[in-house]
Amino acid sequence: MSRIDQLNVMIVDDNQHMRSLVRAIMEAIGIRNLIEAREGEHALEKMRNNEVHLVITDWNMEPMDGIDFTRYLRSSPDSPDPFIPVIMLTGHTERAKVELARDAGVDEFIAKPVTAKALLARINSIVNNRRPFIRTGRYFGPDRRRKNMPFDGPEKRADEN
């Protein structure tokens, strides 16, 4: 899908105020087909009954947080769509947290407070330049490498189980 105004976007956050803010930003950039969920399990239920093209999720939610939700989407045999693009929107900006989100299978990461410009940039990145998915013994999701750099060394992925 190449037109963002045709996207069906799910906003997953346990904070109603934050869902409303993200909804307002999405509507301002032209996305009107929005579905809201209050946490991961609720989002999975709604995804099974609605066509969703993109998920924007918070990290901290109960009982299923954004990391567990993304891992479920990517690796569960019951996943409604293991290839769905996921944007993590969170206040957790420490490098280890960003890497944890990346390693769970998140496509893009945005630190709060969110701006329309940042959200639009991440959506455009996913729509126009989606990274290919890879599968190893321990990971399935978008390629975690952002740069195409020459590599001269042993292939480590072949050894992952």
Q: Quick one: which H or E segment has residue 83?
A: none
Residues 6+ apart with CB under 8 A from 125: 108
Q: Quick one: which H or E segment has residue 73?
A: helix 66-75
- pLDDT bucket at 161, cuts 50 / 70 / 90: very low
What φ, ψ does residue 90 adopt, rounded to 5°?
-155, 165
Query: Percentage of the chain with pLDDT > 70?
Result: 89
In a domain, 148, yes or no: no
In a domain, 57, yes or no: yes
Q: Is residue 55's pLDDT more than 90?
A: yes
Q: Is residue 56's pLDDT more than 90?
A: yes
- Of residues 134 and 155, the one with the higher pLDDT is 134
**Residue range of the domain that includes 117:** 4-143
List Cα–Cα distances, 119 to 1, 3, 13, 51, 126, in angstroms: 17, 15, 15, 21, 11
Q: Check which CATH number belongs to the domain holding 131 and give it.
A: 3.40.50.2300
pLDDT reported for residue 148: 60
List Cα–Cα distances, 126 to 12, 60, 65, 120, 150, in angstroms: 18, 23, 22, 10, 24
In a domain, 160, yes or no: no
- pLDDT bucket at 80, cuts 50 / 70 / 90: very high
Q: 95-104 and 66-75 helices cross at what angle (nearest 10)?
A: 30
> Model's pTM, two decimal places?
0.87
- Of residues 118 and 161, the one with the higher pLDDT is 118
Mean pLDDT across 6-25: 96
In a domain, 159, yes or no: no
In a domain, 150, yes or no: no
Q: How many domains does the chain have?
A: 1
